[in-house]
Amino acid sequence: MFAVLVATVALVPTSHAKGPAGAYDRAFLTDMIGHHTMAVDMAEMAREKATHPELKKAAEDIIRTQSAEIDRMRRWLRDWYGVRRVQPELEHHEMLQMGELEEATGAEFEIRFLALMSVHHTQAIERASVAIERAKHRPVRKLARAIVKAQEGEIEQFRDWLVAWYAS
């Protein structure tokens, strides 16, 4: 009877997947914090430089939503893994993209922003789709589903704006 009880308890998932069982979650959260940080930086540029009010509003929404998600992911890393600090770093090609975006103005800025953010969102969707399947923590899977839904919608909106504003 004791052996059955021990075996049953062993099957109950723990609230905090640590070690190898939680390694994927930790890596995903760390990666997504960096990814969201770049999106927030891009959106801050758009809030200042975009000429269409709709794009400025979309940028504000990205800043608000993804900043809140960054805070939540940092809290999970701290609570679940004891990680106190995540310092995102841009890769070389990302620094170049950000520099090009920063130098652009007017229509050129909006076109670059909409295209770059669409690619950026596509990368986040790919990563989040894997997390939906692999993450051990239910809140991480829930966040991943929210990322996919929100960013698919934003990509569609950005595509519509590119056509409406700049297709000739």
Q: What is the mean pLDDT of the chain?
A: 88
Q: In which band, very low, low, confident or very high, does the pLDDT at 47 lie, cut at 50, 70 and 90?
A: very high
Is 2 part of any domain? no
Count of all residues that appear for the chain in the document: 168
Distant-in-sequence, close-in-space partners of 81: CB < 8 Å, separation ≥ 6: 18, 22, 26
Q: Residue 21: what pLDDT?
A: 54
Q: Residue 20: what pLDDT?
A: 54
Is 139 part of any domain? yes
Is 45 part of any domain? yes
Is 8 part of any domain? no
Q: Read off the pLDDT of residues 132-163 as tens digits, 9 standing for 90 and up.
A: 999 999 999 999 999 999 999 999 999 999 99
Is 69 part of any domain? yes
**CA distances, 12 to each of 9, 17, 66, 141 (Å):** 5, 12, 33, 18
Greater confidence, 16 or 163?
A: 163
Give the separation between CA 65 and CA 39, rounded to whole angstroms: 11
**CA distances, 43 to each of 76, 82, 98, 162, 164 (Å):** 24, 30, 11, 16, 20
Distant-in-sequence, close-in-space partners of 151: CB < 8 Å, separation ≥ 6: 121, 122, 124, 125, 128
Is residue 15's pLDDT more than 70?
Answer: no
Is 1 part of any domain? no
| 135 contacts 43 by C-beta, under 8 angstroms | no
Q: What is the CATH number of the domain that holds 47?
A: 1.20.1260.10
Number of domains in the chain: 1
Is 22 part of any domain? yes
Predicted TM-score (pTM) of the model is 0.84
Domain extent at residue 100: 18-166
Is 140 part of any domain? yes
Q: Residue 92: what pLDDT?
A: 78
| 154 contacts 121 by C-beta, under 8 angstroms | yes
Lowest-pLDDT range, 6-10, 35-39, 89-93, 149-153?
A: 6-10
